[in-house]
Amino acid sequence: MDAALLAALADPARWRLVCLLAERPRSVGVLAQLADARQPQTTKHLQTLERAGVVTSQRNGQRRLYTLRPGPLRDLAATLNRLADTADRPGGPHETYDRHAASLDAERRAAQEPGWADGRSFGFRRTLAAPPEPVWHHLTEPALLTRWWTPNDLRVSELVFEAEPGGRIVLEYRDAEDADSSDVVVGRAEGVVEEVRPQEHLTYRMSPLLPNGERAFTAHVAFTLRPTGTGTQLDAHWRLDGSTVESADFIAGIEIGFGQSLDKLAETLATAASRHTDH
């Protein structure tokens, strides 16, 4: 898109001239009268529009007539429509943003006193295109966890996962496009592994940390793996306690954020299964 065209159209006085020229070609003097402006000022605005390619002019006897070139405006409109369609596509990031905004509003209104969300639970189920063994590896091995254990717009920047009872968990995440880690840390959580039954059951507790280092809440997370004829049924259950008033923003993102993470896990395993089949 031509930046000169956008800059030319951004000025209210020039936009008024464009609107007048859309009706019919007009002279500088008439345009100045209709726009309630001085003629020298109007001439400068028209010259700017002409350099941007949105108007053209020609001498007609004693006066110079300006006319609008519709092509650049149509090109601009098409570009803006494409941008709007990209932002408005069903299931896209902007739709997710709107859903998250609604959840944020609801949770913030509910968070009136400590313990407000204690006992809340969330359930997730995914049918995965892999047997329990590789699924288990993706749930417990740091190198594989980093591939999926954040929502779509985030990335793991630090991860510790000790897959044994009493093992330590640390998860730090940043914006996915913060390549040099110069932006702020989006979030950090710490926890402890509680129960480990390889390829069957995994439980741990995790606590997102507030900016002051205190726990926002504690999530007791349980994974259950069941083999199916084509892969694995994975069930995940969250139960919350220790919720603070400040935890509302974290809790608002659980359903969407962890759901996206599990979708990434499913996609990762499906891609690996497809490559294995091809080989």
Where do the domains of the chain lie?
3-87, 93-278
Residues with Cβ within 8 Å of 7's Cβ and at least 6 positions away in sequence, in order, are 52
In this prediction, residues 75-95 reach a mean pLDDT of 90
For residue range 87-107, what is the model confidence (pLDDT) as tens digits?
888 888 889 899 999 999 999
For residue range 136-180, what is the model confidence (pLDDT) as tens digits?
999 999 999 999 999 999 999 999 999 999 999 999 999 999 989
If DSSP codes are grouped into helix, strand and coil, which group holds residue 202? strand
Residue-wise over 21-34: b if at least 16 C-beta within 10 A, else e?
beeebbbbeebbee
pLDDT above 90: percentage of residues in the chain: 87
Strands 63-68 and 168-175: unpaired
Helices (H), 158-239: none
Q: Which amino acid makes up residue 244?
A: T
The verdict on pTM exceeding 0.85 is: no
Mean per-residue pLDDT over the chain, rounded: 94
In this prediction, residues 52-72 reach a mean pLDDT of 92
Domain 3-87, what fold?
Answer: Arc Repressor Mutant, subunit A (1.10.10)
Instruction: Specify the pLDDT at position 134.
Output: 96
Whether residue 82 is predicted with pLDDT greater than 80 in this model: the reply is yes
- In total, the chain counts a number of residues equal to 279
In the CATH hierarchy, which top-level class contains the domain 93-278?
A: alpha beta
